[in-house]
Each structure stands twice: as structure tokens, then as C-alpha cells.
Structure 1
Amino acid sequence: MRASATPVPSLSFTSLSPVAATPMLAMPASFPLAASDRLLSLVSEFRSLQEPIERVKRLLDYAAVLPAFEDSSRMDSNRVPGCTAQVWVDVGMDGQGRMRFWADSDSEIAKGFCSCLMDILDRAKPQEVMGMRAEELRVVNIGIVAHSRVNTWHHILVRMQSRTQELLNVPAMVTYLPR
């Protein structure tokens, strides 16, 4: 887990190549859209792309803007089980009780999945993270039919949720003041 929450830049139309007709909205951290609204925006963006190759290119655009991942976070406890590629997810919580995520992979496609999921769930409330279902992500069909790639969405989401649950189950530290 990270000691401090480093800001993850929001994706915006100007930060990515102009492949999609519907850009992701860049909102200030103080006014984040609900995760469900960010998911709808992502679905709309990918649906606007007619050809599978356009969707793959867009996913690679997302991979290109994935924030740097600290080498110290590349540990077994942050690995995403079930993925063919090596994928790591780290989690924290900011001062407003919103979830913070950092991720990386040795695969550009998996990096794109991580970036999309972070765009949806970073700065979301814990209950939004826990309420997201992998089925909701299937509509973001990028045209990759390999079974391992289709399951990547699911494995990364499940890892984000399990790490969120672990963080929420950590008992609060009690400070005893002298009398």
C-alpha cells in the first residue's frame, strides 16, 4: 500500500489520440463523476468505434496514459491472479474516503484494461467499487476474442475489489491519550 495518494491524471480527449468520437470527461478530483457514469462514458466511447482494430488502438491509447507504477509495488501481494500477463494493482484511500488505485502490466493490452478500470474506479466510493460487476464491462467489446483477454477485465476488477475489501477490514488505529 502506498504511504501517500499520488494523483492519477484524468483522461481527456486532448491527452489521447483522436480515435473516439466521445471523449472521457476530465473532472476535477473534488467533483468526481459516479463510477456508473464513468462506465457509461467508457461504453459510449468504445461503442462509437466501428471496427475492432479501432477499439484495440483506443485501448492502447489508454495504456499509453497509465500513470507510472512504483517498482516497490511490484510484489506478490499486488499481483492479479488468473491473468496470463503479469498485472499488479495497488490500492489506497484518500482523505475523503475514496478509493485510489495504481496498476501496471507487462502487456500493453492488460495495461489498457487497467487504465480503463482506473478511469472508472479511481476516486470512487468503496461501495461503488464493490458494486461494480464484470458483466457491466463486457459491453466494452474491444474485439479481442482470446479467452484469457476477455477474462482480464474480470480478474483485474476482482483484484481491485478484494484489495478494497482488505483495506476496509483493517481496524482503525486507536490512540490512547494520557489522562
Structure 2
Amino acid sequence: MATEAFEDIAETFDFLEDWEDRYRHVIELGKAMPPLDDSFKVAAYKVDGCASQVWIRPVLDDGRFDFQGDSDAMIVRGLIAVLHALYSGLRPAEVVAVDAPAELRRLGLEDHLSSQRSNGLRAMVARIRQVAGEAS
């Protein structure tokens, strides 16, 4: 149940055979995201379990889930952008129903991220699911 934006990323990953190109693409996705205002870089939005500094600020708009996010690491900003593509625009109950590990496996991320980055990615997914679950 991936969004069209996530499907676009998956198609691009299929086209990019070299992991270095995929890595660069993830970083470019992160660079294209608007930065999170510093006023939201507070403990309430901080994601624990990440090696980098990560903030995710959930937003509900007309019953649809969205979030703003940021990190001090470029690759992590890119991972936030991937998660944004996966979840943004869904209803909170749909967010909870997404099989994020399966969708992310389509990108082959688990084979190329350090264990710390993989743990951080799982922590971000858990935070997003928690917030969406509370909203549904």
C-alpha cells in the first residue's frame, strides 16, 4: 500500500543499479526537503534511537497524515524524505497498516545501511506509527 511518491522512488531505485547512485539519490531527496524550523527542533519531536539528531513533527491536515522532519546527517535527511514519500497523505489508520519493512526492502536499504542507521530508520518508523496510531 505504498503511495505514488514512494512508487516513484522505488522505480528510480530499480533504474539505478549501482548502490552509490542510489545513495546519492537518497541524499538528493533529503536536500530537496524543506528544512524543519529550528523552533520545532525540541525534545517533543526528537526521535530517540538514532545515531544522528532526528526530529519528526507530525501534522494532520483534513484527516490526512503528514510530517515535517530534519536531521543533522544528509543521508538521514534522505531517509526521512523516503519515509515522507511512504506515508504522507495517508489517513492515520492507513499509516499504521503500511508494512514499512517490506516496502523499504524493495529499495534494498537494509543491505547498505550501517546497523546504527538501520536502527535509526526503525526508530523513525516506530515514531511515525505511534503518532498515527494515536491520531486514528
TM-score (structure 1 length as normaliser): 0.68
What's the Cα RMSD here?
A: 1.8
Find the residue that maps to 2:12 and give its secondary structure.
helix
- Equivalent residue number for residue 163 of structure 1: 131
Question: Aligned equivalents of 2:58 and 2:113: distance in 1?
Answer: 29
Comparing 130-139 with 108-117, greater Cα deviation is found at 130-139
Distance change (3 Å), C-alpha of 1:52 and 1:159: same
Count of aligned pairs: 134
Task: Judge conservation of contact 2:50–2:121 (CA < 8 Å) in 1.
Answer: no
Q: Structure 1: state its 5+ residue gaps.
A: 1-33, 169-179
Cα deviation per residue 1:36-94 (whole Å; 9 max; x = unaligned)?
A: 44433322221221111001100011011111211111111211111111100011211
- Equivalent residue number for residue 78 of structure 1: 45
Equivalent position to 1:133, from 90, 94, 99 = 99
Distance change (3 Å), C-alpha of 1:167 and 1:70: farther
What is the letter of the counterpart of residue 65 of structure 1?
Answer: A
Question: Aligned equivalents of 2:16 and 2:120: distance in 1?
Answer: 21
- Equivalent residue number for residue 31 of structure 2: 64
1:43 aligns with 2:17: no
- Higher percent of residues as helix: 2
Distance change (3 Å), C-alpha of 1:156 and 1:71: same
Task: Judge conservation of contact 2:96–2:129 (CA < 8 Å) in 1.
Answer: yes
Question: Aligned equivalents of 1:148 and 1:122: distance in 2?
Answer: 25
Task: Judge conservation of contact 1:101–1:122 (CA < 8 Å) in 2.
Answer: yes
Question: Aligned equivalents of 1:152 and 1:134: distance in 2?
Answer: 14
Q: Structure 2: state its 5+ residue gaps.
A: none
Question: Aligned equivalents of 1:145 and 1:122: distance in 2?
Answer: 23
What is the letter of the counterpart of residue 99 of structure 2?
Answer: R
Task: Judge conservation of contact 2:93–2:133 (CA < 8 Å) in 1.
Answer: no
